[in-house]
Amino acid sequence: EVHLLESGGGLVQPGGSLRLSCVGSGFTFSSYAMSWVRQAPGKGLEWVAGISSSGALTFYADSVKGRFTISRDKSINTLYLQMNSLRADDTALYYCAKDWSARTMYYFDSWGQGTLVTVSS
Amino acid sequence: DIQMTQSPSSLSASVGDRVTITCRASQSISTYFNWYQQKPGKAPIILIHSVSILQSGVPSRFSGSGSGTEFTLTINGLQPEDFATYYCQQTYDLGSFGQGTKVEIK
């Protein structure tokens, strides 16, 4: 069974940084593209960033380009999201999502339970 | 960027009803189109991918159709467990979602 476990969320001041992690199990982590999707409180889903199975290709939403960096470490089955220059509108529950294929993106067939990021002074 | 517009944003329906949700893309997205269901406090789950392919384990009362820029999710015979929020997504160019449609009990 596929399992995705996010961590690293918390309270951070505007302008600060945070690194989210997502550990995958129950599947061959290095064979699938992965993404981060966020959901602000009471709002809809917003795709944030994606990475190919090899890590060679990365993609970002305009709202985070230049501030967030997605990466992965296949040796420990972990996906990361480095978030810099955080703003209040980055406040959200951040989900890690596994893609069905190696390419980025097709559809997300497994999701974690999310980690909450709150940006506030 | 491709914009996805869902309608309606919410609807009220009764158990047994047929429900239709529409999603329009700002440009043609071929068949790179998916539907997700999200219940309160839970992560989304994939219902339908590639316009009309039902994910394994999803009840056959769910169906998807459409092409180009207009797509539809239909629930034939709404069940109590179907009251949730539904999101469309395109993956033709990155992965934008629609704003969601909340299906509530009438």
The pLDDT score that the predictor gives to residue B31 is: 95
Q: Nearest to residue B4, comparing CAs of B76, B91, B80, B64?
A: B91
Neighbours of A90 (CB within 10 A): 22
Residues with Cβ within 8 Å of A2's Cβ and at least 6 positions away in sequence, in order, are A24, A25, A26, A27, A98, A109, A110
Residue of B nearest to A110 (CA): B45
Would you call B31 an interface residue with chain A, using a CB distance cutoff of 8 Å?
A: no
**Among B46, B96, B99, the residue to mutate for chain A (most A Cβ within 10 A):** B46
- Give the residue from B102, B99, B74, B76 showing the smallest Cα distance to B89: B99
Q: Which residue do the tokens 């497994």 mark?
A: A110
- What DSSP letter does each residue of A47-62 carry, written as one string? EEEEE-SSS--EEE-T
Average pLDDT, integer, range B76-103: 97
Contacts of A45 in chain B (CB under 8 A): 36, 38, 44, 87, 89, 97, 100
Category of B65 on φ-ψ map: left (φ > 0), alpha (ψ -120 to 50) or beta: beta
Residue B25 and residue B4: Cα distance in Å, rounded?
5
Q: Is B43–A47 a contact, with Cβ atoms under 8 angstroms apart?
A: no
For residue B10, give how far its alpha carbon lies from the nearest alpha carbon of chain A (Å).
13
**Tell me: the pLDDT tens digits for A25-54?**
999 999 999 999 999 999 999 999 999 999
Cα A47 from Cα A7, distance rounded (Å): 18
- Which pair of structure tokens corresponds to residue B50? 């590639």
**Nearest CA to CA, how far is B80 from chain A (Å)?**
22
Mark yes or no for CB contact A44/B99 under 8 Å. yes
Cβ-Cβ contacts under 8 Å, A1 against chain B: none
pLDDT at B49: 98
Q: Mean of the pLDDT values across residues B7-26?
A: 98
Compute the mean pLDDT over every residue in chain A, rounded to the nearest whole number: 97
What is the arithmetic mean of pLDDT over A18-23? 98
- Position A104 pLDDT exceeds 80: no
Burial class (CB within 10 angstroms; exposed 0-12, middle 13-18, buried 19+) of A98: buried
pLDDT above 80 (res B26) = yes
Output the pLDDT for position A102. 87
Place of tokens 């999310």: A114
Question: For B55, which DSSP code?
Answer: P
**In this complex, is the C-beta atom of B90 within 8 Å of any C-beta atom belonging to chain A?**
no
Among candidate residues A18, A26, A22, A13, the one with its CA nearest the CA of residue A113: A22
